[in-house]
Structures are given as structure tokens and as C-alpha cells.
Amino acid sequence: MANTTKYDLVVIGGGPAGYAAAIRAGQLGKKVACVEQERPGGTCLNWGCIPSKALLKSAELYSKIQHCDDFGISVKGVDYDFSKIIGRSRGVADTMAKGIAFLFKKNKVDHFTGVGTINVPGMVEITDGPDKGKILPTEKILIATGCKPRRLPDLEVDGERVMTSRQALEMKKQPKSIVIVGAGAIGAEFAYFLNAFGTKVTLVEMLDQVLPIEDHETAAVVAKEFKKQGIDCRVSTAVENIKVAAKNVKMDLVKGDQKESITADSILLAIGVNANTEGLFSPRMKLDLHRGYVKVDDNYESSVKGIYAAGDIIGPPWLAHVATYEAVQAVQGMFGHSKPKRVKLFPGCTYCLPQVASIGKTEKKLKEEGVAYKVGKFPFQASGKAVASNQPEGFVKILVDEKYGEILGAHIVGADATELIGEYCLGMQLETTVEEIHHTIHAHPTLSEATMEAAATVFGEAIHI
């Protein structure tokens, strides 16, 4: 059924890229439609960033209560209801999804539910879902369908014995033991969450450190703290011969020439993502792809004129905040509001305990590139606020150009690291030097003083170490 409305833009996908693009286009006065398979918010809001942070907050609170004696407070009979914890997480996602629906109405974005398929440039057909059969004529199309969790071949995901992050976010029953395959951000966060409530967690990573893309010293702190918490971390280890039974999962953990058989209630696959292009193109539509992801130019336009793409669907780093930035840039560019920018600098965050946040280059990368650099490092155990809060683990580390003092990278592990990284993000965006951070007065006592002190250590002028 053809739609009588001619749109300026139809966005396919309603996640952080899709809904941001639709809202921004609405703000620019354009006639916009957004087609989303489920409800607005996409994976991030409904099955990723937001509900997982609700789970992690429950784990953090439960852990703090268990250690409240450290603060001179006694609490008796502490217990938890796993189903309520999961239920609260889903409720948070519900609330946020309603917020996006409100923003669509506020910005006059038409929302359609179903699978958006591109048959020809200038037309999107809804081929499945409640709005199936509707055809949306449009001047421009933005693909923002994101990614879906990667699975292993011949291993059926049943939501109980075998899960991806999506099934883990709505677990009906807490597993007594679990093997988590992949120690990136998703794997590390679920390891922390489940372990906090008593699940026996084995975290397995093929590469040589947990959080493989992070600075090696940062990863070492996380591995050490995870071990203290009781998480069994296995690095440089592969998982082979997975066999799913009625009541458990058996597998081999292989490290070099050593093999160990292990049995657990469940296995969680946190091994990355694949581009979500299912149902996106009709057989007549041929867009250039690279490893399954849509190839775009500097204006976010694909190989077919008038069809754009942004967010996870164009490839790594697969971060919600990057997706939002790209989508807004794409929309502003396609409608002549401003010249679009490609992402060059972005923070990455992991919300386990201790938290991890970083931006820019790691030491390993700088050494590979032969860049002359200096290191400034300040431990949270020397921070009055961190010690007073009983959170002295971790540090702030800044990497700077040896000659000019330009900030090349920043790495934080510890309390509220994901909030603290913003200062360095702004500093690097403004091309601030490490000296300017050093000479900026920070309030006392705060955790943010550590960012100033780390800068001061570059010059050997830190006061508190």
C-alpha cells in the first residue's frame, strides 16, 4: 500500500544512529519517517547499553551492602530476587523507549514498525511486521540497522544453556555456573554482574589479556580485581568441542598444548557482532559492502546515490555514542546544514567494577608507530576522595607527545572512570596540552583531581605522590 506522503528522509533502524538521525532531520524541518523492527531505541536502549547498566547497578549496590561494615554500618539478612533484578532492568528499558517515542512525536517523525527493505533508490517497503505492505517514497534513505550478536556455527542459542547478550538480559533463572566466551566489554560486564550474585564465572579470552583493546596496565588491574572477586579469567585460551545437554554444557578449554574439560550450567557468547542486513535489500539492490558492512564515503553516502549509512552498520568501533555522532553528521551533511565529519576520536567504556575508560592511543600502539611519548600516571590510592569512598583501586594514565605535550591517549581504571574520561575527551578535541590540564584547578576532594595529578606527573610535579 503506497504512502501518499513523500518523505525527505526515511531512516531504517531506530537505535542510537537511527533515532538520532530521524530526530535531527525533524529539527531541520524535514519530513521524516523511521522504520524499526521493534520499538524505538534499537539494541542499545532495549537489549544492550541501558538495561545492562541497570543490572550492573544492582550488582554494585548488592556488593556495597555486603561490605558496609567497612563504613561502620551493619546490615543483617541481605538477600536478592534475581527475577526482580531482571524485571527492573526491563522496566528501565521500557521507560527509555517511551522517551524516544515522545521525541519522535515532538519532532514530527513518523514511526513505522517492521522490516524496512530497499527495492530501488527513493523507496522503502515495509516487508514484515505490523506495518507490512506500506511503501514509503523518499528523497533520501539512511541505513542504520546496526549489528546483531555473533553466534557460533552449529550451536543453537536456546536462551538457557546457550545465550548471547540478548538472551542474558532476560534470563528467567540465574545459572549456578557459566562460561563466558569473550572478555571484551560485554563479556567483562556480564562476568562482573553474575559473579556479584554468586554465579561461578569462567571468563575465557583467545587473546592475551581481558579487555583486549585496552591498555595493558588497565587490563592487568581488571584481571587482578576480577580474581579477587572470584572470577576465573582464562586468557590465550580457546573454547572447543562444545556439547549442550539437557541440564548443562560441556566444553574443552585449550591453551597451547594443554586441554581442560569443563562443565557449566550455561555458556554466554560475547564474541563480537555481525552486520544486520537481513531483509534490508531486495535482490535488485546492489550496494558495495566490505566484510558485510555498508561502504560509505566521507559524506556517509553509499555506492548508490541518495542512500546513506551510519552507525554500527558501517563497521567498527560499534559504539552507541559513535553511532549517534555519525548519524547526526550524515543528516546535517545530506541536507546542506554543515560539512559532515568522520569519527577520529572517541571514548570507549566498560562498566564492570573497576570501571574502565579510554580515549586515543595505547602505549602498545605508540610503540608500534615509533612515537616518542611521556607517561603521566596517578594512582587512586593517593586520592583522598577515592580512599574516603573505599575505592582506591586503579589509576589515571595519560600519554603525551614528548616534544609538544599533545595528549595522545588517556586510560582510566577505577571508580567512576566512565564519567572522568570526559575531561580528556574535551581536552583532546580542543588540542589541549598536558600542561593546560596540569594548571587547571580541580575541586577538592574529587576523583577528578586524579586527572590533574596524572598530568602533573608528566613534569614530575604531582603533589600527592
Separation between Cα atoms, residue 236 and residue 219, nearest integer Å: 14
Q: What is the largest CA-CA distance in the chain?
A: 71
Helix or strand run (H / E) with residue 264 = strand 258-264
Closest CA to 325 of 17, 12, 97, 24: 17
> Is 411 an annotated catalytic residue?
no
Instruction: Give CA torsion, residues 125, 126, 132, 137, to 10 deg.
Output: -50
Closest CA to 251 of 404, 243, 259, 231: 243
- On the CB side of 350, how many CA atoms lie within 13 Å of its CA? 29
How far, in Å, are 324, 360, 396 from residue 327 at the CA level?
A: 5, 22, 31
DSSP 5: P
Helix or strand run (H / E) with residue 61 = helix 49-66
User: 340 and 332 in contact (C-beta within 8 Å)?
Assistant: yes
Name the amino acid, one letter, at 287: L
Separation between Cα atoms, residue 311 and residue 104, nearest integer Å: 19
Instruction: Give CA torsion, residues 335, 337, 343, 348, to 10 deg.
Output: -100
Out of 67, 290, 439, 444, the active site residue is 444
Our CA angle for 24, 28, 33, nearest 5°, is 60
Cβ of 243: how many Cβ atoms within 10 Å? 12
CA–chain centroid gap for 77, Å, is: 35
Separation between Cα atoms, residue 49 and residue 51, nearest integer Å: 6
Separation between Cα atoms, residue 120 and residue 383, nearest integer Å: 60
- Known catalytic residues? 444
